[in-house]
Amino acid sequence: MRKNVVISWSSGKDSTLTLLRLLKDPTYKVTALYTTHVKNDVPFQATPLNVVQMQADLIGLPLITIELPEVFPSNHIYQSTVINGLKKSGVAIDAIAFGDMFCNGIVDYRRSYIEPAGWECVFPLLGEASESLAADILSSGIKTFLITVDSERLPREYCGREYNEELLSELPPDIDPCGENGEFHTLVVQAPYFNGQINLELLHVEHLQRFSHQRYKATSVTNTSKSN
């Protein structure tokens, strides 16, 4: 019997690669995506909630949206809000999957509130080298853009660029190629199992005190010539 797994969905490359891995894994059946948001944006990614819904629609999976009271709520509020949101979703859940890559304490943290709810924690990318994962992201056909850059870690000029071989070759040597230290966050516009793509009209880059965000208009385009 395959386990029903829900994926923590950020709108970026890591969660997309997690989806691709699990769709090929006979142990699991992906039943939904879930995302947390503050008002109408996914924190850190600065992805509008309607764009996340576009992604879910192209994938053909339900999207569970869980609103947080603020970007950094206390651990207790964050954990209880996520668990309650998942339980109220009506989706069959045996496991929750995360796109974490580093063994830096995040696994124990996730398990501390997911497992008491009766669910397994799944980490398809955990422990793999960032260089290998970056190569896998590109070779698998995931198309994504840097939409948030932490200017304390990476020059703001990288904001809005496509994540590709050229960008990876130009990253400073101290920058993780997957941005796993928070250097940047991405938005996926096309990938295997997307029944179409999201077209972006890149507008201006908004420079805040620390973070830069690529602003854009997004349009979802369904591929009517084939099904998911």
pLDDT for res 56 = 98
pLDDT for res 156 = 94
One-letter identity of residue 119: W
Angle at 215 between CA 209 and CA 220, to 5 degrees: 150
Asked if residue 20 lies in contact with residue 193, where contact means CB atoms within 8 angstroms, the answer is yes
Average pLDDT over residues 205-222: 95
Q: What is the DSSP string of 96-132?
A: EE------SSHHHHHHHHHGGGT-EEE-TTTT--HHH
* Tens digit of each residue's pLDDT (9 = 90 or more) over 185-210: 999 999 999 999 999 999 999 999 99
* Tens digit of each residue's pLDDT (9 = 90 or more) over 117-165: 999 999 999 999 999 999 999 999 999 999 999 999 999 999 999 999 9
3-class DSSP assignment, residue 58: helix
Q: Is the dihedral of CA 154, 155, 156, 159 positive or negative?
A: negative
* Tens digit of each residue's pLDDT (9 = 90 or more) over 51-91: 999 999 999 999 999 999 998 999 999 999 999 999 999 99
Residue 123 neighbours by CB under 8 Å, 6+ apart = 97, 98, 100, 107, 110
Average pLDDT over residues 161-175: 97
What is the chain's Cα-based Rg?
17
Domains detected in the chain: 3-222 (3.40.50.620)
Distance CA 58, CA 62 (A): 10
Q: Residue 225 — pLDDT band, cuts 50, 70, 90?
A: low
Q: Residue 43 — pLDDT band, cuts 50, 70, 90?
A: confident
Tell me the CA distances in angstroms from 47 to 145, 149, 160, one per residue in order: 12, 13, 13
Task: Report whether pLDDT(224) > 70.
Answer: no
pLDDT for res 104 = 79
Placement of tokens 């769709």 in the chain: 23
* Tens digit of each residue's pLDDT (9 = 90 or more) over 5-36: 999 999 999 999 999 999 999 999 999 999 99
Average pLDDT over residues 100-113: 91
- Quote the DSSP letter at residue 144: E
Asked if residue 15 lies in contact with residue 124, where contact means CB atoms within 8 angstroms, the answer is no
Tokens of 212: 């830069």
What pTM does this model have?
A: 0.94
Distance CA 49, CA 147 (A): 14
